[in-house]
Structure 1
Amino acid sequence: MAGQTARVLQGSFNTVPVLHSNQPEAVNGPGILIDTSLGIVYSETGLAMANPTLRFEGPFGLHFHHFYSPSSPGQGRLGRRPEPSLAAVVINPGGVPVRLRLFRGAVRNSFAAPYPGHQLLGVNPLGPGPTAVQMLWGRLDPDLPEELTVPPRSRLVLLRTDLPALGVVNGMQLGESDGPFHLAMVAAPSPATDEEIFSHIDSRRLAPGRTYLTQLEAIERGLVFSRVSGVALGDTYQASLSHDLERKGPLHVPLTRTVRQSFGIGKILVNRPVARMLDCALENVGTYGVRFDPLQRQTPTPRGGAAPEWPLHQASGL
Structure 2
Amino acid sequence: MPVPPPAPETQEEIVKPQEVRPLPGQLNTVPVFNSNSPEVVQTEGILLSTFPPTGKQAPAAHLNFPFQGRFDIFAHHIAKATSPEDLRTLYLGVILHNPGTQPVTVNVLQAASYLSQPDAPFIELPSFVENPAGTVYAGPGSRVMNEVLRGQRQAEWPARIVIPPGESQMLLNHPIPVRTLEPPINGRSTLMRLQSSGQVYAASLGMFAKQNPDGSERPPSREEWQQLLETGNLAGPRDKVPTPPEQTTGQIIYGRVAGVARGSAWKAQLSDGAGSPNLTIPKAGEAFSYALSTLSRGQMGTGQVQSAPMIVRYPDTAYSAHGNYGIEYSLTLPLYNPSATAQTVTLALETPIKEEQLARGGLRFLEPPARQIFFRGTVRIRYNDDRGLPQTRYVHLVQRRGQQGEPLVRLMLPAASSRLVRVDFLYPPDATPPQVLTVKTLDN
Band of TM-score, shorter chain: 0.7 to 0.9
What's 2:41 paired with?
A: 27
SS of equivalent to 1:180: strand
Give the distance between the partners of 1:11 and 1:306, measured in 2 at CA. Answer: 25
1:100 equivalent in alignment to 2:129: no
* TM-superposed deviation, 1:36: 0.3
Q: 1:243 to 1:187 in 2, by over 3 A?
A: farther
1:131 equivalent in alignment to 2:159: no
Q: 1:8 to 1:202 in 2, by over 3 A?
A: same
What's 1:53 paired with?
A: 64
Kindly provide the CA deviation profile for residues 84-135 of structure 1, in whole angstroms up to 9, marking residues without a partner as x: 10011001111111110101110001224333726xxxxxx999x8101111
Larger mean Cα displacement after TM superposition, 10-19 or 298-307:
298-307
What's 2:292 paired with?
A: 255
Q: Is the 8 A contact 2:21 2:290 kept in 1?
A: yes
* TM-superposed deviation, 1:155: 0.7
Give the distance between the partners of 1:57 and 1:116, measured in 2 at CA. Answer: 36
Give the distance between the partners of 1:114 and 1:62, measured in 2 at CA. Answer: 20
Give the distance between the partners of 2:428 and 2:202, measured in 1 at CA. Answer: 15
Q: Is the 8 A contact 2:45 2:233 kept in 1?
A: yes
Give the distance between the partners of 1:258 and 1:299, measured in 2 at CA. Answer: 27
Give the distance between the partners of 1:228 and 1:60, measured in 2 at CA. Answer: 17
Give the distance between the partners of 1:220 and 1:298, measured in 2 at CA. Answer: 36
1:36 equivalent in alignment to 2:50: yes
Q: 1:248 to 1:12 in 2, by over 3 A?
A: farther
What's 1:121 paired with?
A: none
Match of 2:73 among 62, 73, 82: 62
Q: Is the 8 A contact 1:20 1:317 kept in 2?
A: no
* TM-superposed deviation, 1:311: 5.2
SS of equivalent to 1:202: helix
SS of equivalent to 1:182: strand
Q: 1:178 to 1:309 in 2, by over 3 A?
A: same
Matches within 5 A, 1:1-318: 2-3=15-16, 4-39=18-53, 49=60, 51-75=62-86, 81-115=87-121, 117=123, 130-165=143-178, 166-190=185-209, 191-212=219-240, 215=241, 218-219=243-244, 221-222=246-247, 223-241=252-270, 242-245=279-282, 247=284, 249-286=286-323, 288-293=325-330, 301=337, 302-305=413-416
Give the distance between the partners of 2:33 and 2:122, measured in 1 at CA. Answer: 30
State percent identity of aligned pairs: 23
Q: Is the 8 A contact 1:42 1:206 kept in 2?
A: no
Q: 1:154 to 1:93 in 2, by over 3 A?
A: same
* TM-superposed deviation, 1:170: 0.1
Task: Tell me which protein shows more strand as a share of its residues.
Answer: 2
Give the aligned length. 298
Q: 1:264 to 1:300 in 2, by over 3 A?
A: closer
Higher relative contact order (CA closer than 8 Å, sequence separation 6+): 1
Give the distance between the partners of 1:116 and 1:271, measured in 2 at CA. Answer: 27
Give the distance between the partners of 2:118 and 2:332, measured in 1 at CA. Answer: 31
Kindly provide the CA deviation profile for residues 120-166 of structure 1, in whole angstroms up to 9, marking residues without a partner as x: xxxxx999x81011111100000122211111111110112111230
CA-based RMSD of the aligned residues comes to 2.9
Q: Is the 8 A contact 2:70 2:195 kept in 1?
A: yes
* TM-superposed deviation, 1:8: 1.4
Q: Is the 8 A contact 2:92 2:204 kept in 1?
A: yes
TM-score, with structure 1 as normaliser = 0.83
Give the distance between the partners of 1:208 and 1:28, measured in 2 at CA. Answer: 6
Give the distance between the partners of 1:225 and 1:281, measured in 2 at CA. Answer: 6
Q: Is the 8 A contact 1:240 1:312 kept in 2?
A: no
Give the distance between the partners of 1:102 and 1:63, measured in 2 at CA. Answer: 13
**Structure 1 residues without counterparts, runs of 5 or longer:** 76-80, 119-124
Give the distance between the partners of 1:84 and 1:272, measured in 2 at CA. Answer: 30
Give the distance between the partners of 2:148 and 2:282, measured in 1 at CA. Answer: 30
* TM-superposed deviation, 1:296: 5.5
Larger Rg: 2
What's 2:394 paired with?
A: none
Q: Is the 8 A contact 2:239 2:317 kept in 1?
A: no
Q: Is the 8 A contact 1:64 1:289 kept in 2?
A: no
SS of equivalent to 1:247: coil
Match of 2:320, as an amino acid? E
Q: Is the 8 A contact 1:219 1:279 kept in 2?
A: no
Q: Is the 8 A contact 1:18 1:234 kept in 2?
A: yes
SS of equivalent to 2:311: strand
Give the distance between the partners of 1:310 and 1:156, measured in 2 at CA. Answer: 42
